[in-house]
Chains A and B, each alone.
Chain A
């Protein structure tokens, strides 16, 4: 499958723990996006990369959130000291420039 993959698909953690998610984009895509989606809502933009450079961060992305794309390929999203309000689906997408974004299946985070 040459689509966007995300791991893990599901993560259950206790409040205060750190979690890290991984996204593997389509290999020739130079842009990578992270979104958060809560139940009954559309996705909210968190951040995006062009190659390894993080070009934009949403105000939704608090200091507890950090994203990296060290070699311009896969990306990780880390949440430190998780809170119950962080429970959501975290979506990754990639695109070639301004082309169509291809979305991964998402990682569902549950914070107990």
Chain B
């Protein structure tokens, strides 16, 4: 069965500095992986997804993630944080054993310091 682990419950960075949100997955198959963002009082929004094409995936709002099979990782990065990036971020794997249901990490809260 697939699973996903987000290594940090909270990440705090200063505005203008790089962002790194870590995610490790476990999968018997070549997985589909996603990052979603959840702003307070707003719906979950898809940032980017990996589906076995290019290993470096570019998403919205300047975010990107790199699929590393050898490390079973799918870390999310952004070169320069903006105040509007403050939100909860979820790493997600698609479960091929369960009709492609989404398996969610526990989330990482990104805090941006001015």
- Contacts from A to B (Cβ < 8 Å): 3-4, 40-45, 48, 55-56, 91, 93, 98, 100-106
Contact = CB atoms under 8 A, between A and B. Distances in A.
Contacts of B46: 100-101
Interface of B: 9, 36, 41-46, 49, 90, 92, 98-102, 104-107
Given A42-B92, A93-B44, 13 more contacts: A40-B9, A41-B104, A42-B104, A42-B107, A43-B44, A44-B104, A45-B102, A56-B101, A98-B100, A102-B43, A103-B43, A105-B41, A106-B43
Contact of A45 (B45, B101, B105): B101
Contacts, number: 44
Main SS of the interface on chain A? loop
Name the residue in A4, A43, A98 with the highest tally of chain B Cβ atoms < 10 Å from its Cβ.
A43
Contact of B105 (A3, A42, A55): A42
A4 B107 contact: no
Contacts of A56: 98-99, 101
B32 to A, nearest CB: 9
Contacts of B98: 56
Nearest to B4: A42
Contact of A100 (B42, B49, B100, B104): B49
B99 A55 contact: yes
Contact of B106 (A41, A102, A106): A41
Contacts of B106: 40-42
Contacts of A48: 101
A21 B96 CA distance: 29
Contacts of B99: 55-56
Contacts of A93: 44
A18 B37 CA distance: 31
A30 B9 CA distance: 34
B90 A42 contact: yes
B102 A91 contact: no
A101 to B, nearest CB: 7
